[in-house]
Structure 1
């Protein structure tokens, strides 16, 4: 399979479609079960409150997976994602909406690859909080 996005159709500054996901308890539990990460921060509201959070938090890798999905949805081929590097900057709380975004930062005509600035954010009472930032993805374009 190859990417559906053609190199000739992409410009520096283009944004990929934003991808939103409401983070629910069931998703956090399913991710904990699939990953084996049963840390009580992701399972037990009382424990999470005892360490200063309002309740359970989503896994950082759950946020990264959502960001990766936004990139591969845009590409149309998961294999076209060649590299992703992220910096986790904040936690995601249950019942928040996680929004993944990206913007083309550079294009390499020799390899037909693009480097994207990628990030994930949540809205907390009208204030955008960056969950993942200063991150990049390298993708192979058709």
Structure 2
């Protein structure tokens, strides 16, 4: 199925999820300022994320973003599609997270994800949906890959 972007449905319920359906988020450019703010919020001030010279000495062209910044950015970019704005009950977590390539300041990134499974919950008003997601650089390089479980409302409940 072709990726969906501008005309993505909003407020998907569990019943609306089509396995294999793929979505692509809008692009976002990573900046030094954003990396620094993430370091401040998380208290992770490792020089690799804040010092271009040190990052170069470690083999990178410049500072790199935290891996968890990339994972957090994945969720934020997905939320721009508003697929679950009023129907998501909770994130149940991320699995199979892999940091495949460094996220560099200046990279323009996007998220591509597809629904890979779904199951009813023990409660009749909700179901669990699993997405396979990748954070990709503008050249198509996969930076982060993971699976995300979301608890969604069911229709009529």
- With normalisation by structure 2, the TM-score equals 0.77
SS of match in other structure, 1:94: coil
- 1:101 alignment partner, one of 101, 105, 112: 112
Q: Does 2:85 match 1:76?
A: yes
Hey, what does 1:54 align to over in structure 2? 61
Shift of 1:131: 0.8
1:44-91 CA deviation, whole Å, 9 max, x = no partner? 111111111111111111100011224444321664221212111111
Distance across 2 between alignment mates of 1:23 and 1:93: 7
- 1:25 alignment partner, one of 29, 32, 36: 32
SS of match in other structure, 1:12: coil
Hey, what does 2:137 align to over in structure 1? 122
Shift of 1:10: 1.4
Distance across 2 between alignment mates of 1:101 and 1:80: 20
SS of match in other structure, 1:41: helix
Hey, what does 2:7 align to over in structure 1? none
Q: How many residues align?
A: 135
- 2:13 alignment partner, one of 2, 6, 26: 6
Hey, what does 2:46 align to over in structure 1? 39
More helix by share: 1
Hey, what does 2:6 align to over in structure 1? none
